[in-house]
Structure 1
Amino acid sequence: MDGLINLDNSLHVFTRAPNQADLRELSCAGMRSVVNLRAPGENGEVLAPGTEGEVAAKSGLAYLSFPVTPADLTTRAASTIRVEMEQLPTPIAIHCASGKRQAG
């Protein structure tokens, strides 16, 4: 899938914000969860987090919205995200706008 980087069998980074078709394709590609690190109303928003969650659920995906700006991505925030992600079925696709927050 265009924009999806496989880090390992359980975690994949989506290098852009997904649209509705992307979420359906993620599900068809075997993803079981989506994690959104974008804040509501963020510049270039494709889907509002609530809408993304609804589309994800309709596509059979678990969904976690954890809005964090690059400046707020501290070690503590990263640890909290990691703990919450451990509760999700894998494989997981995680995204922000560009894939850079996931690298933090």
Structure 2
Amino acid sequence: MDKDIKKVNNEISVAAFDPDENSFKNFAEQGFKSVINLQTDDEEQNVTSEKEEELAKENNLKYRHIGVSEDKLSEALVDDFRHELENLPTPIVVHCKSGKRSGAFVMMHIGCQKNMSGEEVIKQAEDMGFECDVPELEQFLKKYVNEH
């Protein structure tokens, strides 16, 4: 397993980097079946979401793009993301640029599945090595988990 890929559980891992042309071949070789990209089209990235989709197809990976930016966090986005996690073939690798959004979104899903509180989710995320140093994201995560 790539050192920049954190395995959250048997179904979900988080890639803490911006994938390039070779990443999708590596994802497939590591046994992933699906990729979810949380980067927005207007942030700087190694390959565009369109190119990622092509690379995913070439490597027999299912692909979803859900652009998440700090100023556009919404419950609907998290709901969409959770729906994809529950319906895509596993294991799934989720990525953004650094892993912060991916980690937060994955932890929101797990927190809701396990009936955890927002505080418990933040603590578990930190124990797993996810840094939540974006106050807006941390507040959003706690609120979402506490209300679901």
* TM-score, normalization by structure 1: 0.92
Runs (5+) with no aligned partner, structure 1: none
After superposition, residues 1-104 of structure 1 pair within 5 angstroms as 1-43=2-44, 45-102=45-102, 103-104=104-105
In 2, are the aligned partners of 1:41 and 1:48 still within 8 Å (CA)? no
In 2, are the aligned partners of 1:39 and 1:69 still within 8 Å (CA)? yes
Structure (1/2) with the larger helix percentage: 2
SS of residue paired to 1:78: helix
Runs (5+) with no aligned partner, structure 2: 106-148
SS of residue paired to 2:60: coil
How many matched pairs?
103
In 2, are the aligned partners of 1:73 and 1:101 still within 8 Å (CA)? no
CA RMSD of aligned residues (A): 1.2
When Rg is computed on C-alpha atoms for both structures, the one with the higher figure is: 2
SS of residue paired to 2:6: strand
CA distance in 1, matches of 2:17, 2:73: 18
Q: Relative contact order: is structure 1 or structure 2 higher (C-alpha 8 Å, sep ≥ 6)?
A: 1
Q: Equivalent pairs: percent with the same residue?
A: 30
In 1, are the aligned partners of 2:31 and 2:91 still within 8 Å (CA)? yes
SS of residue paired to 1:20: coil
